[in-house]
Copies of this chain bind each other. A is one copy, B any other.
Amino acid sequence: MLARRLSALCIRSVSGKQLVYAEYGDPTKVVKLQTIDLNDTPPSGQVHVKWIASPINPADLNTLQGVYPIKPPLPAVGGSEGFGRVEKLGDGVKTLKVGDHVLPSRSGLGIWRTDGYHKETDLFQIDKTLPLEASASLQVNPPTAYRMLKDFVDLKEGDTIIQNGANSSVGKAAIQICRIRGIRSINIVRKRDNMAAFISSLKALGANEVITEDQLVKEYRGKIKDVRLALNCVGGRSALLLATTLGHGGCMVTYGGMSKQPLQVPTGPLIFKDIRLVGFWMSRWYEDQKNLEERKRMNADLTSWIKSGEFRPPTFEKRNLEHYKEALEAAATSFVKKQLFIL
């Protein structure tokens, strides 16, 4: 008995921190910083991951607000994207080894924490020589752009796509993947100060055209047609304008609704030009186990493009967990400076 008690006392524990929430609501109010102690040894089939960096994505905020379709059982750890390093293996773990870099294999794992024990099937191994920002953002935005450009229309070199919200993380990833694949991209953006510099920055990524909605309606009226794919994250009238540029058999993929307005779609092209409208949700794609091999291929493509310098990952404002309130506040008010927790 005494031996057992001593042994129990002698088990070292891992001490860490995490951002948890026990109710849905205003992210800056419901999220709390918590100290945690984990047993030194992960349970069988699980690994100890030291999480390294995790961004704050809009979907994370919506999850905290309780308005996202993913609702983890509460209390839960916030965050769903990020990468970490495998520290220790539980019994029976076969696919990972200490030192490996990993992403979550699915959404909703809770990544805003320094340490976690996770099933090996909940993790996806990545190249450990990738830069920090690239690793931390390899799960959500570039894959969303990659899949939308691959899964709905068989795009060939020289084909044209159009997108709104072109300055979003997905938008900038789409611009670059189009450039790499030889696809022309027409990018619809909002009017802003320093328009010339802003246009230059997107053209530097590979954008063929960067225009405002207003220009699309006036100067470019009727000139943009036979577009094969439209990527829509705005909705409302903006979606209508994209749809009118689609050629026969074209497709509009919706992955966001920033305007909070229902999409508008012209009836004629839908019927007579055989266009179709679909939605895309990266989280659902990851849930489907039959996509695992294709995810490895996608990851290999993105990794090689990042390493060759062809694909630039997003830039971030880095924060540590202690400054989570400022980080959440900044993430909620600005799409421009993306927030990244360094864990």
Q: Which residues does A use to contact B, with CB under 8 Å?
A: 69, 235, 240, 254-257, 262-281, 284
Contacts and interface: CB of A to CB of B under 8 A. Distances in A.
A264 B279 CA distance: 14
Given A264-B262, A267-B256, A279 B274 contact: yes
A256 B281 contact: no
A94 to B, nearest CB: 33
Nearest to A260: B267
Contact of A280 (B235, B254, B271): B271
A275 B264 CA distance: 15
Contacts of A263: 263-267, 270
A176 B275 CA distance: 28
B279 A276 contact: yes
Contact of A278 (B257, B264, B270, B284): B270
B279 A270 contact: yes
A277 B230 CA distance: 14
21 contacts: A235-B267, A240-B262, A254-B270, A254-B271, A256-B267, A257-B271, A262-B267, A263-B263, A263-B266, A263-B267, A265-B265, A270-B278, A270-B279, A271-B280, A272-B281, A274-B278, A274-B279, A276-B276, A276-B277, A276-B278, A277-B278
Given A264-B264, A265-B262, A271 B281 contact: yes
Nearest to A70: B272
Given A254-B271, A267-B279, A274-B279, 9 more contacts: A254-B267, A256-B267, A263-B266, A271-B279, A272-B279, A274-B278, A276-B277, A276-B278, A277-B277
A277 B265 contact: yes
Most buried by B among A254, A277, A284: A277
A274 B281 contact: yes
Most buried by B among A265, A269, A276, A279: A279
